[in-house]
Structure 1
Amino acid sequence: MPDSGGTPASRGFADASSAIDIAEGILMERHDVTSRDALEILRRHATGRQLPVSEIARWLIKTRHLL
């Protein structure tokens, strides 16, 4: 029977995507911005720190610090 959890790479992508979605929601609520604007905030911070957007998203979820 195949593993229904997918490959480690696909699970990693799903985890990253989930973290980004959650972080977008946090930013949307706190800053009263659209999903697109929230993603741009995440991208801007990721670029400035030379980190993947998913890492910035995980940091935001963990610390709840505002960007």
Structure 2
Amino acid sequence: MLAFQVVAGPARPTGEYRLSEVPGGTMVRFTLDLQPKGLMKLVGPVIARTMEAEVAQLAKLKTVLEAA
């Protein structure tokens, strides 16, 4: 498990990567969590869309890792 916490920027999510051995490879589970506070609650939907777009980039990760 590799956990992280973003410490800069307006949104400071936490998350983790969990790697598990499975037959024929490795399973990666990614978790991302954001608990907006104060004024950040007002822009919650915008933050959610941005986070979804960033997480969608993970779909490319398998291709990049396997090409290396």
Between Structure 1 and Structure 2, which shows a larger proportion of strand residues? 2
Between Structure 1 and Structure 2, which shows a larger proportion of helix residues? 1
Structure 2-normalised TM-score? 0.33
Relative contact order higher in (CA < 8 Å, ≥ 6 apart): 1
> Which of structures 1 and 2 has the bigger CA Rg?
2
